[in-house]
Structure 1
């Protein structure tokens, strides 16, 4: 399954397995761990495997996540957004302004590489020395690329009980983010049908 950095960022808010919501960015240590896990997606932007977060960086990434999740909610509308933060979303204008500002904090220029025995490739050369600024800017650019790309049309909010994830629909009949959510949703439907049958059967005529 293809991974997108913007989706990975949004998914740092997730179901905790016990009926609640977990936040992978709740601590500096958790944020550092998450950054280092994204090393392959951040390759070419920043050496994420060597980067340790501090509190300011953690808060900056969380604010960027709020913007991304607000725009994800706009994408899936009129379907309901993730219930994890549906009651406290930024406005779309605020979210777009935040993404654009964060992306613009790192001046970059495209550079071409063309080996004698190969094909030309492009990379971005940064003029920013602060790795924290570069990281947040890279996350913002990834979100802009995702939201303006073709995969955005397949973005969905998982409707399984207790799930709070967004996901990209990979085939026409996909309703949930993963099989375990599908199993939980089908079990909940079966329970509701059983309850309806029992309540209907016991109702006075």
Structure 2
């Protein structure tokens, strides 16, 4: 069955996963998700929705307008961040291209304040990001946050949602919780309850036979 992608996903999107308030890169990775019944959503599927996401996270200014090439760059970096998160959760080696992509995003902008000069104020240093570099600034910020998450104390809390088919990430907040939302938790518990109720009779334990029982022919 073909997967149905919800492009305007504001109504379909799950609430932020635990830890998204501490790491913007976690919420960035979770801007796409797989839903039951062969559906999924993508909050970066179009320039307008990508712009809304950036504005919501204070990563751009109102006068900036995105084009499809900008949204595509965001989706590409998201795929690489997700690959790094998956490798951390699974304990595997991430793709070299994903490491390279995050490092390229980190170094796309100068870290030192730039030199500005005008007649009223003369020379001064400014941390300016021209409009044409707005996406570079946003991606650099997201890449830096992902690197901080993967190398900081929260790295051991990073987990994948344990309620199939959801493929979002989260930070475990207590115990061994691996659900990114109440909706996923309810679905996982319902699936387990259904599995218990629908066990075949052959799976039930059989009564034991006394050792001294005789078989009469």
Out of 167, 178, 188, which is 1:175 matched to?
Answer: 178
Corresponding pairs, count: 174
> More helix per residue: 1 or 2?
1
Out of 38, 43, 50, which is 1:24 matched to?
Answer: 43
1:116-145 alpha-carbon deviations (Å, 9 max, x no partner): xxxxxxxx9357662222222222222212
Out of 56, 59, 63, which is 2:76 matched to?
Answer: 63
Is 1:192 aligned to residue 192 of structure 2? Answer: no
Larger radius of gyration: 2
Structure 2: state its 5+ residue gaps. 1-18, 114-125, 205-217
Structure 1: state its 5+ residue gaps. 80-89, 111-123
- RMSD, aligned α-carbons: 2.7
Out of 119, 124, 127, which is 1:125 matched to?
Answer: 127
Is the Cα–Cα contact under 8 Å of residues 24 and 31 in structure 1 kept in the other structure? Answer: yes
Structure 2 residue aligned with 1:12? 31
Q: TM-score, normalised by structure 1?
A: 0.74
CA distance in structure 2 between the aligned counterparts of 1:147 and 1:78, rounded to whole angstroms? 12
- Shift of the alpha carbon at 1:177? 1.3
Structure 2 residue aligned with 1:33? 52
Structure 2 residue aligned with 1:157? 160
CA distance in structure 2 between the aligned counterparts of 1:4 and 1:55, rounded to whole angstroms? 26
1:72-116 alpha-carbon deviations (Å, 9 max, x no partner): 11111059xxxxxxxxxx952111111001110100127xxxxxx
Mapping of 1:52-131 within 5 angstroms?
A: 52-78=65-91, 91-109=94-112, 125-126=127-128, 130-131=133-134
